[in-house]
Amino acid sequence: MTLLSAKDLGKAYRTYRSEWQRIARWLGIRINPREEHWVLQHINFVINAGEAIGIVGQNGAGKSTLLKMLTGTLQPTTGEVQVNGRIAAILELGMGFNPELTGRQNVYHAAGLMGFNAQEIEAFMPDVEKFAEVGEYFDQAVRTYSSGMQMRVAFAVATARRPEILIVDEALSVGDSYFQHKSFDRIREFQEQGTTLLIVSHDRSSIQALCDRVLLIEGGTVIKDGAPEEVMDFYNAIIAEKENATVQVHTLADGTVQTRSGSGEATIDSLALYNEADAPIEFVSVGQSVSLKIRVKVNQAIPELVVGYMIKDRLGQPIYGTNTHHLDKKMGALEANTELEYTFKFEANIGVGSYSIAVALHTADTHLNANYEWRDLALVFNVINSDKVPFVGSAWIQPTVECVQ
C-alpha cells in the first residue's frame, strides 16, 4: 500500500522587487517575481507501509525543506505530496511547551496541536505519564524540569499514538541512555506494527541499523535511492570528493555495489588477509591471528600518506577501524612510483558472520582532507567458529565463570 508519494515535488523561494508586489498578487494582480531560488526540484518517490527510509544529505542539501513539505508545514511550489495516514514528527521535541504550565497541561496542549480531541487525549494521558517516567514532576511547572525530563515528556506525547508515518530527525538521542533505549524500543515496536519510519541523520550506524532504504539528497534533488550500504558508501564518497576526484561505482559479481573514490595520487594495488603461515585466507576462525596486507602505489609525489581500514559487518556497521596516523606509522613526503606494503596484524576477536573491509589512503587523521583513494568492500571475508565455545554477537569476549553456592 502506498502511504506517501511525492510527485515532481519542488520548492522555490521567490523574492519580489517589493513585498507590496507579493501582496498585490494575492489580490489578483499578475506580477512576476524578481528572482526564484529553487531549493528542491523534481523530487519523486513512493513510500510503502512498513518501510524504514533514511534521508541523508549534506547540510543545506534540502533535507529539512523536504521534511517540512512532507509534514505539510511548507507548501510545495510544484508537484504534490499525497499522504494516506497520520504523520508524526519527532523533529523539535518540546516545541510549544509553555514553561509556566505543568507537564500534564503541556501534554494536553501539544496533543491538541497534533489534532487530538479532548477524549482521545484523556484516553492516552495515563500512558504518556507512565512512559515519560517523570514521577511527581508531571503535575509541576515545566520550568522546574531538567532538559532531559522535558525531552521525555515531549517524546512520550509525540509517540502517544502509533502514527502511520514517523519522522525522526537526529533526535534519537533523547535524554539519558536508559530513555534512549526505551524510545528506540518504542520506535521499533511501531515499525513492527507497520509504521513507516523516515529517519534523517548523519549517523551512518543508526541509518544502517534501522533503515532498509535510503534516499540521498544532493543539490536539491534525490540523486540516489537504494539499499543503505550502497547509498551510504556513495554518500561518504561524495563527502570525500575533492577537485579532480572521481567516484566510481562497480557492481561486484555477487550483486553488491562497490564504491571507489579519490584523487588518485596514490592507489591501492592489492590487499588480502593472510594467516600465520603467510597463506592467503578467506575464512577466519574466531580469535585467529591474521595479517591484513595492503600494497600501495604512489603515482605522484605526495606530502604525506596515511592508510586506514575499517572492518564492517554484513549490515555495513563499523566493527573496528583505525589508521596509520593513530598507529604512529605515518609516512612523510613520498616520490612518485614508490611502492609500499603495509601489514596490519591482529587477532580476529569478532563474532561469526560475513565482514567486509574498507580501505582509505589519505592525509592527516581522516579522509576528509586529501583523499587519494577510498575503496569500500575492498575485501570480504567470513568468520567461522571452529574451536571456541558457541556464542552470539559480533565480539569475542570470552569470560571465565565462577559460581558460588
Interface with another protein, residue 72, by CB under 8 A: yes
Q: In terms of CB distance, is 82 or 251 closer to another protein?
A: 82
Region binding another protein by CB under 8 A among candidate stretches 92-100, 234-242, 269-277, 306-314? 92-100
Question: What is the C-alpha to C-alpha distance for residues 331 and 302, in angstroms, rounded to an integer?
Answer: 10
CB of 8 to another protein, least distance (A): 18
Does 4 participate in binding another protein (rule CB under 8 A)? no
Are residues 160 and 128 in contact, defined by beta-carbon separation less than 8 angstroms?
yes
Nearest CB to another protein, comparing residues 129 and 373:
129
- Chain positions 106 to 145 lying near another protein, rule: CB under 8 A, are 108-109, 112-115, 117-118, 121, 141
13 is a site residue for another protein (CB under 8 A): yes
The answer to whether the CB of 150 falls within 8 A of the CB of 97 is yes
Asked if residue 73 binds another protein (CB under 8 A), the reply is yes
How near is the Cβ of 108 to another protein at its closest, in Å?
5
Residue 10 neighbours by CB distance under 10 Å: 18
Alpha helices by DSSP H, listed for 31-176, are 63-71, 103-113, 118-132, 147-158
CB of 314 vs another protein, minimal distance in Å: 37
Radius of gyration of the chain (CA): 26
- DSSP E strands, 137-200: 165-169, 196-200
- Shortest approach of another protein to residue 215 CB, angstroms? 21
Nearest to another protein of 142, 273 (CB atom)? 142
Q: Are the C-beta atoms of 165 and 50 separated by less than 8 Å? A: no
With vertex at residue 355, the alpha carbon angle to CA 354 and CA 357, rounded to the nearest 5 degrees, is 155
Torsion on CA atoms 222, 227, 229, 233, rounded to nearest 10: -30
Q: How far is the CB of 133 from another protein (least distance, A)?
A: 24
For residues 262 and 247, give the distance between their C-alpha atoms in angstroms, rounded to a whole number: 7
Q: Which of 24, 31, 49, 101 binds another protein (CB under 8 A)?
A: 101
Q: What is the contact surface with another protein in residues (CB under 8 A)?
A: 13-14, 19-20, 22-23, 26, 68, 71-75, 87, 91-92, 95-96, 98, 100-101, 105, 108-109, 112-115, 117-118, 121, 141
